[in-house]
Amino acid sequence: MNQLGQCSDDAIVQGILSDDRRALNTAIRCLYDRHTALLKDYVRRNSGTPQDADDLIQTVVLNFIKAVRSGQYRPQQGVGVGAFLYTLCKNHWLNTLSQRERILLRETEYYETAPHSGASMDAQLHLEEQEEMEHNLRQFDKLGERCKQLLTAQRRDGLSMKEIADLMGFENERVAINEKYKCLQKLKNLLKP
Amino acid sequence: MKPITPPEESEWIEAYLNNQLNPSERAEFEAQMECDAALQEEVESRRLLHDVIDEFNLRAEIASIHAEKMAQPEWVEADWPEEEVEPGESRVSEPRVIPLPVYRPQAKPVWWRRAAAIAAAAGGLWMGYLSFAPISPHETATHITRGGQQPSSFCYTNYYAGKAYLNSRQPDKAIPCLEQVVNCEIRPYFKDASKWFLAVAYLQSGQTERAERIYGEIKQSAEFEYPIGTLDRWKMDWQLRVARMWPSS
């Protein structure tokens, strides 16, 4: 397989939009192989630590996948994947810095005078929704390990309840369905505001 | 038909959300939902649970690939600069072992020979500097976005990405971004800056003719707004000349 073709902008977007977990995995690997060196370099040049780069790269990759899935990013718009990632990276990093109250004056000015550029692309990832998702994920983490395993494995791998029963050692499919129901109820209660 | 037990109903809702019902089952589900407020609520609440589980899975997938990629040798912190050290903390570096020079007795050089040698060495260093020192875009322009014009984000995105690629020595990736900016309707400053960056990118990627052409335009332009440093101009002139003389280099 041609490495570049497999990791072209179109191929990456197709992989992200695909229902196939392996295609998504390949697309994420492509993002790492082809594009994250630039993000790391950006953090390095802008007084970040390796730890900062670690956090930022994962967040940018996640936000990129969301932007593709929600249709906010389309390669046909004339911005390459690398360029879009870079914008997400820059905005996220400036947010991080401003939160740390270390932001440089000129960058503040830039953001005040030019809210249209790039920033708007990131802004669609509404802050409030993100906050809510972070909260929900923390709650999800409070579920027991077995519940987490059951729910994530089933959705991730698209397993039938019969397969889940076999995988997790439940007596039969019915028991698995009942267990899953209990887990979902537990999660629902955890997420209640 | 709506299942009787709650766990079965839960599976039914999931099959609906996952598009696993056949058309008649789906129609039946939707008919039921229309007049069953409790079912509507269940569907909505289930959607949220799926979103949370999917997000958890996605993050786990990214984290696992991230960990794998970061463990690869090219990612390990080799190229991180010294600023990493926290303020106030002192960097204790390993003493570098400098090999002792081998002593060779020589005839005492005449003073003008010494002067000539120093001048030649300085000239060599200067030529070396002009030939090999990188021409890199300055950290510019972030404060020059005053005024009411609102260039499209498309142009800006490509501008900053192009500059970043150039800064990180990836001219081949910088070129397509910058070529777009040059054709953008944006403030002349950014257009001019992009032309200069493009000339540098062409030069670095070995496309001497293109670099010369665009640099020629820059030199002839009477109202070029981007301030190119004198040293950078010299480097460009010299490196273009070298590239012309030895096209392969």
| Distance of alpha carbon B29 from alpha carbon B12, whole angstroms | 9
**Is residue B89 less than 8 Å (CB to CB) from chain A?**
no
* B58 contacts A181? CB cut-off 8 A: no
Query: What is the least distance, in Å, from the CA of B52 to any CA of chain A?
Result: 6
Q: Cβ separation of B57 and A117 shorter than 8 Å?
A: no
- Give ipTM to 2 decimals: 0.85
Q: Do B157 and A32 touch (CB under 8 A)?
A: no
Of B57-61, B85-89, B120-124, minimum mean pLDDT range? B85-89
Residue B149 pLDDT level (bands cut at 50, 70, 90):
very low
Which of these ranges, A87-91, A155-159, B38-42, B243-247, has the smallest mean pLDDT?
B243-247
Q: What is the pLDDT averaged over residues A144-166?
A: 92
Is pLDDT at A125 greater than 60 in this prediction?
no
Let me know: does B54 contact A19? Beta carbons within 8 Å: no
Residue B234 to residue B135: CA distance in whole angstroms: 10
In angstroms, the CA A163 to CA A158 distance is 10
* Neighbour count for residue A99 (Cβ, 10 Å): 9
As a whole number, mean pLDDT of residues B49-76 equals: 88
Select the residue of A44, A90, A117 nearest B153 (Cβ to Cβ): A117
pLDDT attached to residue A179: 95
Whole-number pLDDT of residue A136? 94
Distance CA B196, CA B228 (A): 8
Choose among A38, A40, A188: nearest Cβ to B45.
A188
Higher local confidence (pLDDT), A68 or B166: A68
Put simply, whether B180 touches A (Cβ < 8 Å) is yes
Q: So what's the pLDDT on residue A26?
A: 95
Q: Is B54 on the interface with A (CB under 8 A)?
A: yes
pLDDT score, position B16: 94
Read off the pLDDT of residues A63-113 as tens digits, 9 standing for 90 and up: 999 999 999 898 877 889 999 999 999 988 888 887 776 545 544 545 444
How far apart, in whole angstroms, are the C-alpha atoms of residue A49 and residue A57? 12
**Higher per-residue pLDDT: A116 or A158:** A158
Who has greater pLDDT, B210 or A119? B210
Least confident of A2-11, A14-23, B10-19: A2-11
Task: State whether B70 and A54 contact (CB < 8 Å).
Answer: yes
Report pLDDT digits (tens) over B92-140: 333 333 334 343 444 555 677 788 888 998 888 888 887 777 776 655 4
Check B180 against A78: CB less than 8 A apart. yes
The mean pLDDT value of chain B amounts to: 78
Q: Which of A55-64, A168-177, B110-119, B191-200 has the lowest average pLDDT?
A: B110-119
Residues of A within 8 A of B164 (CB-CB) are: 38, 41-42, 86
Please tell me the predicted confidence (pLDDT) of residue B78. Answer: 57
Chain A residues close to B151, C-beta within 8 Å: 116-117
Residues B190-203 have a mean pLDDT of 89
- The burial of B24, by beta-carbon neighbours within 10 Å (0-12 exposed, 13-18 middle, 19 or more buried), is given as exposed
SS3 content of chain B, % helix, strand, coil (to 5): 65, 0, 35
User: In whole angstroms, what separates CA B72 from the centre of its chain?
Assistant: 20
Residues of B with Cβ-Cβ distance to A164 under 8 angstroms: none
The residue ranking higher by pLDDT, A132 or B185, is: A132
* Alpha-carbon gap, residue B191 to B183, rounded angstroms: 8
DSSP label of B98:
P
pLDDT at B82 over 60: no
Which residues, numbered 144 to 163 in chain B, qualify as contacts with chain A under a Cβ-Cβ cut-off of 8 Å?
145-146, 150-154, 156-158, 160-162
Question: B104 touching A, CB under 8 A?
Answer: no
| Integer Cα distance of B213 and A144 in angstroms | 66
**Closest-CA distance of chain A to residue B152, Å:** 7
Interface probe for A, chosen from B4, B43, B52 (most Cβ of A below 10 Å), is B52
**pLDDT of A39-67, one tens digit each?**
988 988 888 888 888 889 999 999 999 99
Q: Model pTM? A: 0.66
C-alpha A151/C-alpha A96 separation (Å) is 33
Q: Which amino acid is at B77?
A: E
